Structure 1
Amino acid sequence: MNATPSDSRELFALNKPKGYLVTRSDDLGRKTVYDLLPEWAFKEGWMPIGRLDLESKGLLLFTTNSKINHALTTPKNCIKVYEIWVRGHVSDEHIAEALKGVESPQGLLKALEVVKMGMGGAKTKLRIIIDEGKNRHIRRLFGALKDPKFGTPLKVLELCRISIGSFKLDIKSAQWRFLSVEEEKLLIKNLD
């Protein structure tokens, strides 16, 4: 491990590209995030904090510290920010519904904040903030909303996590780096 004295001993970040599973190994032989990391990350038991599905990309933190892992994955404890592209025109009504929440088999799915960032053809770019991450939370939340014109579910085409708590993604796709001691302190200072 080539950490410098200013590097955290508890946390590192990976910018996960699409097409990698967040798991230690896959029975089907598919690529996992550990294929992007040095061998010691697997050998020393560094575990991902939370998940990003196969088609999602962006910030993934790793730790060997179960207390940090628990604190960062406890609902309401940690704000996570995503940029997504949704197929269809996302209306103010859709945004209001996402903020109010929709019932799903996984429980209530909702966003704390939804900001429309732009349009591209028949797609809408949004910034979404949530403080818990149920399985496929954002994809299921928007999938529960209907396109008023076609009556079909909205579909998240792209999803990228850009920050977790105070830590913002600042590395290229498929790259990783240790958090600095300062970044670690900032990230975990507000956690119980």
Structure 2
Amino acid sequence: MSEKLQKVLARAGKGSRREMETFISAGRISVDGKTAFLGDRIEGSEQIRLDGHIVKLKPKEDDLCRVIMYNKPEGEMCTRKDPEGRPTVFDRLPPLENSRWVAVGRLDINTSGMLLFTTDGELANRLMHPSQKVEREYAVRVFGEVNEAMLQTLRAGVKLEDGPAKFQKITYKGGEGRNHWFHVVLSEGRNREVRRLWESQEVQVSRLIRVRYGDMEMKRQLPNGGWTELALAEVNYYRKLVGLPVETQSKVKVDEKVMDNAKSRRIRRSVKKHQQRSQQATRRRR
């Protein structure tokens, strides 16, 4: 049975399906020596090249879906390489053979918290797509006076430059003076949407942390800059959430504890070593 070219490329770990559609439109993909076009379908026996390099295809049955939860610190870029040499969210992820990690959405450089990565481009695409209405929850510290009329406006919706937007839920979490914490929920992930919604009410966001994606919350013991691979049941939660078939295998051992104090300490040590190596590399470049 034939499949869409962008879907096959995403499964091969070359990026999300959206990214592959962009590559195809830019003429970077060829099939059996001919430039590919959006809408092309393949059987799987064709020779596919990306920027002239042969792409090793993965049969459906050989493709193991893996998902990582990463606690992104402020100051990291959601890109594979930064021209200014700033740290990226991909720097510490475990290496893969004949595949690569695909980020499920982005967090801007000043936003921290829960960021998912997967080897399954189709899963990443569906989790990001607005049609799936997957909830994202953020802890937000705002600076400025906030009244009930503003909150009602943010719940009802405001018009941003790229279309209408609103928070599905807003929950007050306390504060002092002009600094207040709220938890807000969205079901899409447009660029800087949380910040722009608050700014529409002339309120400044001074801290922004993603704390939940779908029904899964950031693991409390996962340190800043640390990652952990999700167990089979957790992977299948996300797959079922967006209508994909469940996985039957996992790289995570069945009896492995998801997160305990000992594992948290190991991750912290690993993060510290990585930071030290990064600082040494930065000093050498200077």
Give the TM-score category using the shorter length. 0.7 to 0.9
Correspondence for 1:4: none
Correspondence for 2:237: 186
More helix by share: 2
Correspondence for 1:155: 204
Separation in 2, partners of 1:112, 1:42: 40
Shift of 1:41: 5.3
Long gaps (5+) in structure 2: 1-63, 244-286
Of 53-62 and 24-33, deviating more is 24-33
TM (normalized to structure 2)?
Answer: 0.59
Question: Does 2:147 correspond to 1:91?
Answer: yes
Instruction: Spell out the pairing of 1:166-185 with structure 2 (5 A cutoff).
Output: 166-170=215-219, 171-185=222-236
Correspondence for 1:44: 99
> Contact between 2:139 and 2:182, CA under 8 Å: does it hold in 1?
yes
Long gaps (5+) in structure 1: 1-7, 146-152
Give secondary structure in 1 for the equivalent of 2:223: coil
Separation in 2, partners of 1:12, 1:83: 21
Separation in 2, partners of 1:116, 1:73: 26
> Contact between 1:34 and 1:42, CA under 8 Å: does it hold in 2?
no
Question: Does 2:181 correspond to 1:125?
Answer: yes
Larger Rg: 2
* Cα RMSD for the two superposed structures: 1.6
Separation in 1, partners of 2:65, 2:126: 17
Paired letter, 2:228: R
Shift of 1:134: 0.7
- Detail structure 1 runs of 4+ shifted over 2 Å in the superposition: 35-38, 41-44
Of 42-51 and 129-138, deviating more is 42-51
Paired letter, 1:94: M
Separation in 2, partners of 1:165, 1:176: 18
Correspondence for 2:86: 30
Correspondence for 1:135: 191
Shift of 1:92: 1.1
* Percent of paired sites with the same residue: 29
Q: Which structure carries more relative contact order (alpha carbon 8 Å, separation 6+)? A: 1
